[in-house]
Amino acid sequence: MQRPERTRVVITGAGAITPLGLTAAQSWQAMREGRSGIGPFERLAGHELKAPLAGEVRGYDPAQHFDDKRLQLLDLTCQYALVAAREAVAQSGLDLRAPELSERSAVVIGSGAGGESTHDASYRRLYAEGNPRLHPLTIVRLMMNAPASQLSLEFGARGPAFVVSSACASSNHALAQALLMLRSGQADVALAGGAEACLTLGVVRAWEAMRVLADDACRPFSKDRRGLVLGEGAAVFVLETLEHAQRRGATILAELAGAGMSADAADIVMPDAEGAGRAMRLALQDAGLAPEQIGYINAHGTGTQANDATETRAIRAVFGAHAQALAVSSTKSMHGHALGAAGALELLAVLGALREGVLPPTINYREADPVCDLDVLPNQARERRIEAALSNSFAFGGLNAVLALRRWD
């Protein structure tokens, strides 16, 4: 596809805190090995849950990262975002406070639910304990924009900064937005990704009521799949214009080559193959990639009956005969559905696949389903060098965002 020369955008740092590990490297290592981060729902132990399992971040000690005074300002969502961003910025080697860079640094973070643990604690005081007085920092903890504001403060990034919210597609919309800002010249560097920490009783009960939670395991694409498993965490990436990265001799992890976004305008919860397929096509077109160049798709793959069948139809419609040749997996089988952070966690999987030539598996897979008849990498990672990959996110509400990544040699 011919297109005028335009600004290219690359990834030069990755950081994460996930159910699979407390760093990006640990999280990717677990995906590579097909290890699960899903287990008994420890935070809600004692409550009788219909689906008593979750992908929880384990072994995280806030005191190792923040002093008491700082912690008072931070909902768990912000803590995760900051921990991930520190790792990403350290890897990039950038000092965003530098005078020439500070105003050219953007922050775009996706979050679906925002400061849920702060809401939960506040309502407990008000309604359960009958205490009419809330902590004076309640608002700054729970405001939806808090992760973007905290990252901006921490790193001295003074360019455009905001949070985007589109449920399970929030991270991909955030990364797409950052890509567009770098291309348009509004910034040279962006911290972009997603953070979610909403494993509270209220949120879990609400998901329970939708009857989409699996009570045994997350088994995307397997015929006996019973639904999704909730997760949490954050992943943040340093995006830079290629020119900026090359000028300073940065190590480039991959190119964020394109993004495609669409809305189904069909149903508030049921997925739609047309909308999903259109987002994939737009991502390919935006990246200047032919379908045949895609070797791997990190699927939205929630493990619900409806999503996985619809996503399969969408992939077949977009890729035609090449749908047989490419590999597709859902790493949600390992880290759970981190909702607004999902696309960011899954970008780790795509980066790992592009850099190491290892495609992470769909674990817990037991039985082929004729309506999910793709090469879904059942239970075993596969060594395969790929040139480019897509990462799909399709949200409740019919909002879709797909990223296209290209290997950087």
Whether 168 is a known active-site residue: answer yes
CB of 59 to other proteins, least distance (A): 30
By three-state DSSP, how is residue 206 classified?
A: helix
What's the CA angle centered on 153, arms 147 and 156, to 5 degrees?
125
Residue with smaller CB distance to other proteins, 122 or 310: 310
Q: Name the active-site residue from 78, 168, 218, 372.
A: 168
- The residue among 47 and 211 lying less far from other proteins, judged by its C-beta, is 211
Active-site residue, selected from the candidate residues 173, 244, 300, 335: 300
- The alpha carbon of residue 239 and the mean position of all alpha carbons in its chain are separated, in whole angstroms, by 15
Residue 46 vs 130, nearer CB to other proteins? 46
Residue 210 lies near other proteins (rule: CB under 8 A): yes
CB of 266 to other proteins, least distance (A): 12
Token look-up 């097909």 returns 34
Closest approach of Cβ 328 to other proteins, in Å? 25
Residue 356 is a binding residue for other proteins (CB under 8 A): no
- Give the nearer residue to other proteins in terms of CB position, either 305 or 379: 305
- Round to whole Å and give the CA distance between 175 and 192: 6
Instruction: Give residue 405's identity as a one-letter amino acid code.
Output: L
Least distance (Å) from other proteins to the CB of residue 51?
8
Stretch that binds other proteins, among 90-98, 211-219, 247-255, 350-358 (CB under 8 A): 211-219
Contact yes or no for 398/268 (Cβ under 8 A)? yes
Q: Is residue 372 among the annotated active site residues?
A: no
Beta strands 294-298 and 327-329, pairing class = parallel
* Distance from C-alpha of 300 to C-alpha of 308, rounded to nearest angstrom: 8
- Based on the residue annotation, tell me whether 300 is a catalytic residue of this protein: yes
Q: Is 206 in the site for other proteins (CB under 8 A)?
A: no
Which residues neighbour 343 within 8 Å (Cβ) at sequence distance 6 or greater?
110, 169, 170, 171, 172, 173, 174, 175, 194, 391, 393, 401, 403
- The type of residue at 190 is A
**What residue has token string 């935006």?**
286
User: Residue 364 or residue 391: which is nearer to other proteins going by CB?
Assistant: 364
Residue 226 binds other proteins (CB under 8 A):
yes
Q: Is the CB of 98 or the CB of 206 nearer to other proteins?
A: 206
* Residue closer to other proteins (CB basis): 181 or 212: 212
- 3-class SS of residue 394: strand
Q: Tell me the torsion sign for CA atoms 52, 56, 62, 64.
A: positive
Task: Kindly tell me which residue out of 50, 205, 247, 366 binds other proteins, with binding defined by CB under 8 A.
Answer: 50
Query: Which x/- pattern, by CB under 8 A, does the window 252-291 give for other proteins?
Result: ----------------xxx---------------------
Footprint (CB under 8 A) of other proteins, residues 112-171: none
Interatomic CA distance for residues 402 and 278, integer angstroms: 10
Q: Quick one: which of 98, 126, 206, 209 contacts other proteins (CB under 8 A)?
A: 209
201 binds other proteins (CB under 8 A): no
- Please report, as residue ranges, which positions from 290 to 309 form the binding site for other proteins (by CB under 8 A): 306
Compute φ and ψ for 281, nearest 5 degrees: -60, -45
C-alpha 167/C-alpha 157 separation (Å) is 26
Helices (H), 128-257: 138-142, 146-155, 170-184, 201-210, 242-247
Binding residues with other proteins: total (CB under 8 A): 12
Q: Binding segment for other proteins among 71-79, 181-189, 210-218, 364-372 (CB under 8 A)?
A: 210-218
Residue 371 binds other proteins, judged by CB under 8 A: no
DSSP secondary structure letter of residue 126: I
Which residue type does 212 have? V
Contacts with other proteins by CB under 8 A lie at: 50-51, 209-211, 213, 215, 226, 268-270, 306
Please give the positions annotated as active site: 168, 300, 337
